[in-house]
Amino acid sequence: MSYIKKIESIANAVDGIGDHIGKFWVVTTPSKISELNDILFLASVGDMMVQTRGGLKEDNVVGLYPQKDAAKAKAHALDLIKRIQGK
């Protein structure tokens, strides 16, 4: 199941009113011109739904992380690989 489908599934399964999940850190695949802020951001389920409407593809989502440190480490590693490979 894709990340987006998982997020939508979680959002649909929540009973009651309110945000029971909160915020999480998102890491996406870096592009040739992306900066760290482009590939690492804090989001909610609603934010991710907006991101998908704005063009974010599930294949570009590398991971969803509850802690910033883990997400930041992954984003830094991807950014370093991109710079080394010149992509």
* Per-10-residue mean pLDDT, the chain, length 87: 69 59 92 91 92 93 95 94 82
Q: Give the number of other CB atoms < 10 A from CB of residue 30.
A: 22
Element (H, E) at 28: strand 24-28
- Secondary structure letter of residue 41 according to DSSP: E
pLDDT at residue 29, rounded to an integer: 94
pLDDT, position 82: 87
User: What does the pLDDT read at residue 5?
Assistant: 73
pLDDT of residue 52: 92
The pLDDT assigned to 19 comes to 62
Residue 15 has what pLDDT?
A: 56
